[in-house]
Amino acid sequence: DGGITQSPKYLFRKEGQNVTLSCEQNLNHDAMYWYRQDPGQGLRLIYYSQIVNDFQKGDIAEGYSVSREKKESFPLTVTSAQKNPTAFYLCASSGTATYEQYFGPGTRLTVT
Amino acid sequence: GQNIDQPTEMTATEGAIVQINCTYQTSGFNGLFWYQQHAGEAPTFLSYNVLDGLEEKGRFSSFLSRSKGYSYLLLKELQMKDSASYLCAVFGGYSTLTFGKGTMLLVSP
């Protein structure tokens, strides 16, 4: 089955620690995206990558970092510089034939 | 800049029809998406409009007017499982989507 996986579903960290969220896809999509969703809010774009070894900042990139060393993988690191890291994080990917973005199940990060 | 507006909440009765509106003002426009999102889950694709007019897909239809910066999602024969958040998203430049805040639809018996 093709799809996007994110792990873990729930993640807890202490303030001041960096944490990396994984995102893997086997859809052979070139583009991948990271979004953040807060209660009652829409999705806000953190970073995106349209090709391996290249990525661009989205609207709220401060305090986050990414890498794109493989087509299938686009991990997101939430650094200690991110002031309000507690949120629901969604990864997505899209191909070139259609612009539809497919979403992973999300990771709910809680930082205390 | 990007500005996408949707009503925050709507309520409807099972079996009824509901229309969720979306207005947008964006610097680039290459199409408009509607997604459905149940609480705590990932958004799932419902429709994509790039040309003006109505696209029908089963119980769901989506309409676009590019000159008015307006779209709506029409849900017919509502079912309890349609209770969810509905996200309007504009596909702009650089293959990115800009999402509205979503409309929470509550379907009651």
Percentage helix, strand, coil for chain A under 3-state DSSP, each rounded to 5: 0, 50, 50
Which residues of chain B neighbour A87 with C-beta distances below 8 Å? none
Query: Using the beta-carbon criterion (under 8 Å), do A45 and B96 form an inter-chain contact?
Result: yes
Which residues of chain B neighbour A108 with C-beta distances below 8 Å? 40
Nearest by Cα to A23 from A99, A105, A111: A105
Query: Using the beta-carbon criterion (under 8 Å), do B41 and A105 form an inter-chain contact?
Result: yes
Query: How many Cα atoms occupy the beta-carbon half-sphere of A15 within 13 Å?
Result: 3
Nearest by Cα to B61 from B49, B43, B44, B79: B49
Tell me the percentage of chain A whose pLDDT exceeds 90: 88
The token pair at A10 is: 């729930």
pLDDT digits (tens, 9 = 90+) for B16-73: 999 999 999 988 888 999 999 999 899 999 999 999 999 999 999 999 999 999 999 9
Q: Residue A2 above 90 pLDDT?
A: no
Helices (H) and strands (E) in chain B, counts: 0, 11
